[in-house]
Amino acid sequence: MARILYVALLAVVAAAQQPNPAFAPIEDDPTLPRVLLIGDSISIGYTLETRRLLAGKANLHRIPTNGGPTTRGLENIETWLGDGRWDVIHFNWGLHDLKYMEDGAKQVAPEDYRRNLARLVERLEQTGARLIWASTTPIPPAETNPPRYDKDVVLYNQIAAEIMAPRAIPTDDLYQAAFERLADIQRPANVHFTPEGSKYLANHVASAVTTALPAD
């Protein structure tokens, strides 16, 4: 029995060490537009299904990591954008910004989030890509670790909306889409989604991206 448990543990560890297939680079079809996803673990969850839904329509890339808070975005945006052309960029920051740290403060305070996000949007605009902002998804009515609260999601989404509106950047409203079915698609006491929940979000993302793709 001990040997069986040891072998099972090794299998779990090996699986955990496997690279996430969502991060795997893809080979472009040069006849299709190039799309970049920027986001945290919520976007990691819907990457592969979104790619499947956009097959034959677009080359869907994503940043090869968790996008984290806006501070990480500012540190890495040049590397993530690379030197290629992007036709569409679907992006989000927020879920990490608004989480509470051990000192009781948010990781990125609201006004710092406003300033950081504005800088990131300005940089994304310089690419010439069509931009799509994805609103941050809801927090369940339960204790989460680290602490996060839905009222903060509403606040940070409002800040983002105030940045996007004057620039006419459309919003893929994943907050509302998820909120309508939250009990069915989100893991209990967890900000992450079930596999079916991620597929549900992927449908919204693929639809938003398809609308933004350049005409033939």
- What is d(CA 209, CA 86) in angstroms, rounded to the nearest whole number? 12
Report phi then psi at 142, rounded to 5.
-155, 165
172 membership: H or E segment, kind and range: strand 171-172
Structurally, what CATH architecture does the domain formed by 33-212 represent? 3-Layer(aba) Sandwich (3.40)
What is the tens place of the pLDDT at every residue in 79-100? 999 999 999 999 999 999 999 9
Q: Which amino acid is at 88?
A: V
Q: What is the pLDDT of residue 177?
A: 97
Question: What does each C-alpha distance from 2 to 7, 9, 48 come to in angstroms?
Answer: 9, 10, 37
3-state helix, strand, coil in the chain (%, to 5): 50, 10, 40
CB 120 within 8 A of CB 70: yes
User: Which three-class secondary structure string do you get for 26-92?
Assistant: CCCCCCCCEEEEECCHHHHHHHHHHHHHCCCCCEEEECCCCCCCHHHHHHHHHHHHCCCCCCEEEEC
Tokens 């699986």 sit at which residue? 15
Task: Record the pTM.
Answer: 0.91
What is the tens place of the pLDDT at every residue in 169-184? 999 999 999 999 999 9
In this predicted structure, the answer to whether residue 129 has a pLDDT above a threshold of 50 is: yes
What is the tens place of the pLDDT at every residue in 151-169? 999 999 999 999 999 999 9
What is the tens place of the pLDDT at every residue in 34-68? 999 999 999 999 999 999 999 999 999 999 999 99
What is the tens place of the pLDDT at every residue in 134-143? 999 999 999 9
Average pLDDT, integer, range 106-127: 98
